[in-house]
A and B are shown apart, each in its own frame.
Chain A
Amino acid sequence: MSTTTNAPAEAPSSTAARFNLGAFAKKYLIVLILIGLVILLTILTDGAFIKTQNLINVIRQVSAIGIIAAGMVFVIITLGIDLSVGSIVAMSAVVGASLAQTADAAVIKFPGLDVPVIVAVLAGLAVGAGAGFVNGFLITKFKIAPFIATLGMMTAGRGAAYIFSNGRPISTLKDGYNWIGQGSLLGVPVPILLFAIVVLIASVMLNRTRFGRYTYAIGGNEQAARVSGINIDRVKLGIYVFIGTLAGLAGLVLSARIGSGNPTLGTGLELDVIAATVIGGTSFAGGIGTIWGSVVGALIIGSINNGLDLLNVSPFWQQVVKGLIIVVAIIIDERKNR
């Protein structure tokens, strides 16, 4: 390593007045990687990949990952991690679905109960927020490492989803509930719309509010942030409640999409979410990360999944290829920081 290091990305240098093509390419390298991947897959699939319907499929299939990744950016910026999001998805899915079953379902969780769909939605979000609060509470009040606290929630949460649903999918849901995952508004599928709204809100939170500035400050140097009077515990608690709520939303979207609250939903999802976040340039060293980066990361993962299906790559090779592309994308992206 050389002794000269690059200036912090957020501090504009005095010579930045004229447009610097090199710096621009560096900053948006991950976007170029995505574009390259799209071109490659389009050629390999004889144009099937680039069709509008297929692109809509790609984005819809990563909506849940993208929604949660927007929260994971905050978490990882503050040197945290949340392994429990997949299990929170399952809890929210079974609770949301149980409150949205129609009267003619074969197995009914709450017989005779008929509440508006909005209640089911709020319950799913509340489950997510509650689980996130527990994570945040353990991390800030008991000083448990985020890795451990959320690992506990990941295990217990999955178990809770199984207990609640007796290990069986909760099916035959109201049309209004299924609309969250299957419907569209003004021609845009609802999951994609929710993904976009979450990205917008998270971007504003991170870039335009005190909460966002504190998030970066804690990640940059927690000690300095503490000395400067930031209530670190409160910010961190807020971050884990935020990502928990987003995971709850993702659980609603996924269960509505398959028309069933399944306790196995979201198994392994945390890894895709973390991969999307990290591919998007959020650094495990803390203090660095963007929401738009995580969106690009999610789209890269979705494009790989979709493209390999179109090309009928064998399931074993799919995992190898996916892993390689993720690592290569990060290596290329990391080089810009040297």
Chain B
Amino acid sequence: MIKRRGFKALAAFAAAAFLLVGCSSTDGGGSDTSSSDSTGGSGGGDVTIGATFPILDQFLQTVADAMQSKADELGVTLNVVAADEQTDTQLGQVENFIAQGVDAILVIPVDTDAAGPMTQAAQDAGVPLVYVNRKPSDLPAGVPYVGSDSLYAGTVEMQALAEMAGGEGNVVILIGDPANEAAVQRTQGCKDVVDENPGMTVTKEQAGNWYREEGQNIMENWIQSGDDIKVVCANNDEMALGAINAIKAAGISLGADGILVGGVDATSDALASMEAGELSVTVFQDAAGQGAGGVDAAMTLIGGGIVDDYVDIPYQLVTPDNMADFQ
């Protein structure tokens, strides 16, 4: 029996330990998914650019694809790695790029507040560095950021929804990962517009962490809470599509006669939903423009040129009126 009890204590300890480990590695260990290092062009194979991504989800994969095709077009070698959302893994990848002697580095930072050491490492080594898609909070002059303004995305999304709703009704917000700058800014944009409309109120807000399934669960729960919901302002299309599933399943109509749903990203699934008359609004973030813009900025820096500190790749509002341009 004594042996058994010791075992129990050990097991309890192991349980605590694995919960901790499990939490910190939900998305797998620090594997470098060196997805593409194909040398597309044969001519100027001398120039190599390293790009590190936090993770390659649908959107960022599009950015990576655009970088690759731009690199192929210019005859440049591109090495893409992903950091599994780990800040320290990404710093290691930047250090590895420097050690490999790449000519420039593109970074989509895991954590916008923890980019300083990467910037420092590149500057110390004299390697040009360009941030893409996510803007570091601490960015010295001469290190360009190629991206789009998240606050603007939330603002135009909600403006279009408010107009369709006639400036009246309850608004619920599906937030992405609440620790993420884009989620915070898009949510702020949503709220700013609601505040400008005296007939509108934000009644509920919850984090769906960018996932369709979580957006669907939350919306199902909200529908049961008895709120008279008029507008769903989602931080991205995946959560908006989840909310649409929940609304349809509850037998409520979508659009101006029922609930208006908006998202951001203009993914192919979102555009298909809009075509079916379900999604009212989305905002196109120009993933391809960001990827190509990042490579362009890097090439300019390699050639000794000067790049603006902020290269704006503008968001574009997508409604049923102009969706054909984005399909």
Contacts and interface: CB of A to CB of B under 8 A. Distances in A.
**Do the two chains belong together in a single complex?**
yes
Interface of A: 1, 5, 45, 48, 51, 53-54, 57, 61, 79, 81, 83, 86-87, 106-107, 147, 151, 154-156, 158-159, 162, 166-169, 171-172, 182, 254, 257-260, 262, 264-265, 267-268, 270-271, 274, 278, 283-286, 305-306, 309-310, 312, 315-316, 318
Question: Which one of B4, B26, B224, B238 has the greatest number of beta carbons of chain A within 10 Å?
Answer: B224
A309 B221 contact: yes
Nearest to B172: A312
Contacts of B12: 284-285
A83 B61 contact: no
Given A171-B269, A310-B224, A258 B213 contact: yes
A254 B213 contact: yes
Contacts, number: 138
Given A106-B272, A258-B242, A285 B11 contact: yes
A284 B15 contact: yes
B224 A168 contact: no
Contact of B222 (A51, A81, A265, A309): A309
B212 A260 contact: yes
A168 B23 contact: no
A284 B18 CA distance: 12
Contacts of A79: 11
A271 B23 contact: yes
A269 to B, nearest CB: 9
B218 A271 contact: no
A262 to B, nearest CB: 6
A306 B28 contact: no
B11 A286 contact: yes
Interface string B257-272: 0000000000011011
Given A61-B220, A154-B25, A260-B241, 16 more contacts: A5-B1, A45-B225, A57-B224, A106-B271, A147-B14, A151-B25, A155-B28, A159-B28, A168-B58, A262-B238, A267-B27, A268-B26, A283-B8, A309-B218, A309-B221, A312-B205
List of 4 A-B pairs having minimum Cβ-Cβ separation, nearest first: A315-B207, A155-B28, A309-B221, A285-B8
Contact of B57 (A264, A270, A286, A306): A264
A316 B11 contact: no
Contacts of A172: 269, 272
A259 B224 contact: no
B11 A284 contact: yes
Interface string B39-71: 000000000000000001110110000000000
Interface string B85-104: 00000000000000000000
Contact of A262 (B31, B212, B217): B212
Nearest to B61: A167
Nearest to B22: A271
A159 B213 contact: no
A51 B224 contact: yes
Contacts of A315: 175, 178, 206-207
B39 to A, nearest CB: 21
Contacts of A278: 15
Nearest to B7: A285
B221 A167 contact: no
Interface size class of B (residues with CB under 8 A): 35 or more
B324 interface: no
A289 to B, nearest CB: 13
A259 B245 contact: yes
Given A257-B216, A310-B225, A147 B5 contact: no
A185 B212 CA distance: 25
B199 to A, nearest CB: 21
B304 interface: no
14 contacts: A48-B226, A57-B217, A107-B268, A159-B31, A167-B57, A169-B238, A171-B269, A257-B216, A262-B213, A265-B213, A268-B26, A270-B22, A285-B7, A306-B221
B33 interface: yes
A39 B210 CA distance: 32
Contacts of A267: 26-27, 211
A258 B246 CA distance: 9
Nearest to B203: A312
B121 to A, nearest CB: 27
Nearest to A4: B1
A61 B217 contact: yes
A132 to B, nearest CB: 18
B249 interface: yes
A260 B240 CA distance: 14
Nearest to A337: B8
Contact of B61 (A147, A166, A270, A285): A166
Contacts of A306: 221
Contacts of B269: 106, 169, 171-172, 260
